[in-house]
Structure 1
Amino acid sequence: MRLRLQLFEFEDLPWFPKAIRAGMMDYLRFMISTLRTYQPIVPLLREALHATGQQQVVELCAGAGGGTEGVALALRRHPELEQLRVTLTDLYPQPAAWQLLQERTAGVIGYETAAVDALAVPPRLTGFRTVFSAFHHFPPAAAEALLADAVQQGAGIGVFEGAGKHWLEIGLAWTVLPVAQLLITPFIRPFALSRLFFTYVVPLIPLFTIWDGTVSILRMYPPAQLLALARRADPEQRFRWQAGKVRHKWGPEVTYLVGVPK
């Protein structure tokens, strides 16, 4: 699917209720972690970290941290990355969810409590930058600015979307995934009474998840568009860029863009 529509997602809206946004993000984190969605990009990220000599990762637009734990622990199994640390950041920080990840990983994953704008990352937050499941939120001008900020600060960056941008994925968002959400919500941690209320009593979390999940796929940039954004963000060609798709062993794809300083 090459079509890209710049529609809106409810979770992007400043007035959107925090409890519902947190419930949606917790569900996304649970599903991505359980399905190990981002495991196929571990070799790509390992190569990029080797190229930049980094042991510190700064995750932008982290949401509830979906996928970060599995990827970080997989990377640390390699001797050259045994000191790897990850710092989660977001414009809407979620310390309750991040604290859980910090505890489960014995401090491998940490977080920034202050809001962080991915288009203007504070210079004190050094390290290789990653964006999981969030780059599609940015319209072209903002997406280019996000990449340009990494180039200007000489920080390598990896953008990863847990889908291959196919119509089948939209079909799943309307059928299988809502049923899964109803089944797994009681098992999501940390526990939140509001999550149960807005899932089963007033089902706003499932309804908004269906809409945002559909729009996410329609807003995704395919590899060719990712490379075009990168080239505009890096007119002096200071970085090496690659984009494409990698397939999970059980079928789903991950779309990626990786850039490292030359």
Structure 2
Amino acid sequence: MRLRLRLFEFEDLPWFPTVIRAGMMDYLRFMISALGTYRPIAPLLAEGLRRTGQTALLELGAGAGGGTETVWRALQAEGLADVTVTLTDLYPQPAAWADIAQRTQGRIGHEPAPVNALAVPAHLTGFRVIFSAFHHFPPAAAQALLHDAVRAGTGIGVFEGAGKHWAELLLAWTVLPVAQLLLTPFFRPFRLSRLVFTYLIPLIPLCTIWDGSVSLLRMYSTQELLALAQQADPTQQFTWQAGKKRHWWGPEVTYLIGWPNAPLNEELRMRNEVLPEPPLH
């Protein structure tokens, strides 16, 4: 699918009711985690962490944290047993994040204050990742997000849980809404509001269908992702690669990943190196 349209998504609107947004995020978290959508990109992230000498991920636009736990466990299987994750979002989801923190013994934590992905506070460090959210940013903002990672000298990985195919759009209109109606009672943590706005007043499924369809139409192609990276990093401080990773059962993940050309720890060592004093005459 080459078509790319800049339509609106309900969850991007500041006035959109928090309870509906939370219900949509809970559904996305459940589906992404249950399907293991982002497991195929674990080797890419493991390489990025090793190249930058980091043991922490900083997730931007985390929503309800869908897929984060799956990726964290996959990184452990890649030999990165000490990796931690900090979840951040412009609209924090503390209840959902607390649930993840409890299951992971605090290894997946969160920043309670809203975080602007275009200007990440200096105290939030780690290899930056963004799952299922990069399409929310128009080109200028997407470029600024990548540039902020370059400026900070940290790596960044952008991942979208689709390959941008027409068949995926068809699924968003047919199979996935049925799955949402069948599975909603099993989402955790339990929310009575989620049942009300799914079955009595079906705003959550209707808005999910719209936002899911628009997400596919707004997604950047791999060529567009590389072009954004080149604009954000005109002096070529980072090594960038973009492509698609296929899950063993068929679906694809579109990705862009970049890291500093010099390892972060080596760069810091060179900056802090003390030159020998000249001999006295």
Q: Normalised by the size of structure 1, how large is the TM-score? A: 0.99
The amino acid of 1:51's aligned partner reads: R
RMSD: 0.6
| CA distance in structure 1 between the aligned counterparts of 2:114 and 2:30, rounded to whole angstroms | 23
Q: Confirm or deny that 1:142 pairs with 2:117.
A: no
Instruction: Kindly state the Cα deviation for residue 2 of structure 1 after the two structures are TM-superposed.
Output: 1.5
Secondary structure in 1 aligned to 2:128?
strand
- 1:1-262 to 2 correspondences below 5 Å: 1-79=1-79, 81-262=80-261
In the alignment, structure 1 segments of 5+ residues that lack a partner are: none
The amino acid of 1:211's aligned partner reads: W
Instruction: Kindly state the Cα deviation for residue 251 of structure 1 after the two structures are TM-superposed.
Output: 0.2
With over 3 angstroms needed to count, the CA separation of the structure-2 counterparts of 1:42 and 1:221, relative to structure 1, is same
Matched pairs, number: 261
| CA distance in structure 2 between the aligned counterparts of 1:229 and 1:9, rounded to whole angstroms | 22
| CA distance in structure 2 between the aligned counterparts of 1:249 and 1:42, rounded to whole angstroms | 14
CA contact (8 A) 2:43 2:78 kept: no
Instruction: Kindly state the Cα deviation for residue 3 of structure 1 after the two structures are TM-superposed.
Output: 1.4
Q: Deviations over 1:70-109 (max 9, x none)?
A: 1101112343x21110000000000000000000111110
The amino acid of 2:39's aligned partner reads: Q
Over the matched positions of the two proteins, sequence identity in percent amounts to 72
Secondary structure in 1 aligned to 2:163?
coil
The higher radius of gyration belongs to: 2
| CA distance in structure 2 between the aligned counterparts of 1:109 and 1:250, rounded to whole angstroms | 27
CA contact (8 A) 2:42 2:78 kept: no
Secondary structure in 2 aligned to 1:177?
helix
Q: Normalised by the size of structure 2, how large is the TM-score? A: 0.92
Q: Deviations over 1:20-51 (max 9, x none)?
A: 00000000000000000001101111111111
| CA distance in structure 2 between the aligned counterparts of 1:107 and 1:76, rounded to whole angstroms | 15
Q: Deviations over 1:132-174 (max 9, x none)?
A: 0000000000000000000001010000000000000000000
The amino acid of 2:243's aligned partner reads: G
